[in-house]
């Protein structure tokens, strides 16, 4: 939706020409493809987290919030783009103009806040692990998400008063358009505030926090390799030694570190793509703010919009590619691939008992345990079933 301030009540806007057939075909096909894939993918993210017990972690709660916001962007911005290409005018009426504009900005702003929330959560979990036991809990994540949506919902109410339908009178036709009530000069301060709060500041914060995370996580050596720990365990047990507890602790630390790196890399990719895919549209608006006549090339506008839709559609693909836990949950939801137990017991039983014993917070143990499932395959090789029982016995002792 563009703010057309060149219309005068007593004169026309010239001769109106429809979009070319090539533009209609390309636009409808690409927007339908990206939005279709994005809607299905984000719905799957929400379903697997809500229906799978071991997927309900604080980080995944923020990803559900992000998926809901992306769904809102794809439906409120992507689908109207298809009807605009086919009909050349606004077809949803006055109520549709207000509602769709509101949900567009709500989805955009909520997605930005959700990204900021899980960035802060990752920083606390990795750089302040002791505080994370009490701050990075499931209940706190739910409260933060509710607060994010409440604040963004109130903030976006202003768009209900700034949007309106307008008739565009051409020499050969009269078209209905959904535009802004205020002039371009009045709209720019509102936009730049929105641009700063929901794009510039979140990216600056993410840059600083991920820099601190990288210093802690990627510049420190990994704990001992589970292969070496397994060899040591076999050697000690064959000699009658009792090194089971230290072997289990080494394995636990190794997989915690590996999992933290994997999850952080995945979330960092989400942030980077958010910055890159929103950059064309944000740059276009900033440049047009200083031009007497705005640059509104049809194909470039389509490119900017496709980048926005792609940003909202690509996150489930990233989860599937970079997270074994999400990949397995997606396969289970689609009933394709081998069915697996929700929480294999060979490793998580010992870890759960150990963590519960070390912390008094009832929600943090589940958070740490479930994140360990990310790298389940290697752990199944290095931790025999007897190790679980003996570890519990040693811990109890």
Q: What is the value of pTM for the model shown?
A: 0.77
What does each C-alpha distance from 130 to 14, 75, 361 come to in angstroms? 67, 41, 11
Report pLDDT for 361: 39
Residue 46 has pLDDT above 70, yes or no: yes
Residue 326's Cα: distance from chain center in Å? 13
378 lies in some domain? no
Task: Give helix 93-127 / helix 201-217 axis angle, nearest 10°.
Answer: 30
- CATH number of the domain at 137, please: 1.20.1070.10
Q: Exposed/middle/buried for 111, CB within 10 Å: 0-12, 13-18, 19+?
A: buried
Residue 381 has pLDDT above 60, yes or no: no
27 lies in some domain? yes
What tens digit of pLDDT does each residue of 183-233 get? 777 778 888 888 999 999 999 999 999 999 988 877 765 554 545 444 544
208 lies in some domain? yes
Distance CA 389, CA 85 (A): 64
| Closest by CA position to 115, among listed 328, 309, 274, 247 | 274
What tens digit of pLDDT does each residue of 95-112 get? 999 999 999 999 999 999
352 lies in some domain? no
DSSP 115-127: HHHHHHHHHHHHH
Distance CA 277, CA 22 (A): 24
What tens digit of pLDDT does each residue of 111-154 get? 999 999 999 999 998 899 898 888 899 999 999 999 999 999 99
Residues in CB range of 243: below 8 A, 6 or more apart: 232, 233, 236, 237
Distance CA 126, CA 41 (A): 28
Distance CA 389, CA 374 (A): 22
Distance CA 75, CA 103 (A): 9
Task: Give helix 93-127 / helix 138-155 axis angle, nearest 10°.
Answer: 140
Residues in CB range of 194: below 8 A, 6 or more apart: 105, 109
Domain that holds residue 104: 21-227+253-340
322 lies in some domain? yes
Residue 62 has pLDDT above 90, yes or no: yes
3 lies in some domain? no
| Closest by CA position to 107, among listed 39, 49, 201, 165 | 39
223 lies in some domain? yes
Q: How many CA atoms lie within 13 A of 263 on its CB side?
A: 30
Helices marked H in the chain: 21-51, 58-73, 79-87, 93-127, 129-135, 138-155, 158-162, 184-195, 201-217, 226-238, 244-288, 298-322, 324-333, 345-358, 364-372, 376-382, 385-396
User: Other C-beta atoms within 10 Å of 2: how many?
Assistant: 12
Give residue 359's region: left, alpha or beta (phi > 0; psi -120 to 50).
beta
Burial 243-278 (b: 16+ CB within 10 A, else e): bbbebbbbbbebbbbbbbbbbbebbbbbbebbbebb
Phi/psi of residue 35, nearest 5 degrees: -70, -40
Report pLDDT for 318: 95
Question: At 17, is the pLDDT very low, low, confident or very high (cuts 50, 70, 90)?
Answer: confident
Give the total number of structural domains in the chain: 1
- What are residue 11's DSSP bridge partners? 8
What tens digit of pLDDT does each residue of 280-337 get? 999 898 888 888 788 889 999 999 999 999 999 999 999 999 988 999 999 888 875 4
389 lies in some domain? no
User: Other C-beta atoms within 10 Å of 195: how many?
Assistant: 17
DSSP 165-189: EEEEE-SS-EEEEEEESS-HHHHHH
């Amino acid at each position: 939706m563009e703010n057309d301030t060149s219309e005068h009540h007593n004169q026309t806007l010239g001769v109106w020409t429809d979009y070319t057939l090539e533009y209609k075909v390309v636009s409808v096909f690409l927007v339908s493809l990206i939005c279709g894939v994005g809607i299905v993918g984000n719905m799957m993210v929400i379903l697997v987290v809500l229906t799978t017990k071991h997927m309900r972690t604080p980080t995944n709660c923020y990803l559900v919030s992000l998926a809901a916001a992306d769904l809102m962007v794809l439906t409120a911005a992507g689908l109207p783009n298809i009807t605009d290409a086919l009909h050349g005018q606004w077809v949803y009426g006055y109520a549709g103009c207000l509602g769709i504009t509101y949900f567009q900005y709500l989805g955009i702003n909520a997605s930005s806040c959700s990204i900021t929330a899980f960035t802060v959560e990752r920083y606390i979990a990795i750089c302040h692990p002791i505080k994370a036991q009490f701050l990075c809990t499931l209940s706190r994540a739910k409260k933060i998400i509710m607060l994010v949506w409440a604040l963004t919902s109130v903030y976006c109410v202003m768009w209900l008063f700034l949007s309106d339908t307008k008739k565009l009178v051409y020499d050969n036709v009269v078209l209905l358009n959904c535009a802004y009530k205020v002039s371009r000069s009045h709209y720019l301060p509102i936009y730049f505030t929105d641009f700063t709060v929901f794009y510039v500041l979140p990216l600056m914060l993410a840059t600083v926090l991920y820099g601190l995370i990288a210093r802690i996580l990627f510049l420190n050596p990994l704990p001992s390799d589970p292969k070496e720990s397994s060899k040591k365990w076999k050697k000690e047990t064959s000699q009658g030694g009792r090194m089971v507890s230290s072997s289990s602790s080494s394995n636990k630390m190794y997989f915690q570190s590996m999992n933290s790196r994997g999850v952080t890399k995945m979330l960092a990719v989400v942030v980077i793509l958010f910055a890159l895919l929103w950059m064309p549209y944000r740059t276009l608006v900033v440049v047009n703010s200083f031009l007497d006549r705005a640059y509104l090339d049809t194909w470039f506008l389509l490119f900017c919009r496709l980048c926005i839709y792609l940003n909202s559609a690509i996150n489930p693909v990233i989860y599937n590619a970079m997270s074994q836990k999400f990949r397995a949950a997606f396969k289970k939801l689609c009933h394709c691939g081998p069915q697996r137990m929700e929480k294999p017991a060979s490793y998580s039983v010992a870890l759960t008992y150990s963590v519960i014993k070390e912390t008094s917070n009832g929600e943090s143990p589940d958070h740490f345990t479930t994140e360990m499932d990310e790298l389940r395959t290697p752990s199944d090789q290095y931790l025999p079933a007897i190790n679980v029982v003996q570890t519990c016995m040693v811990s109890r002792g």
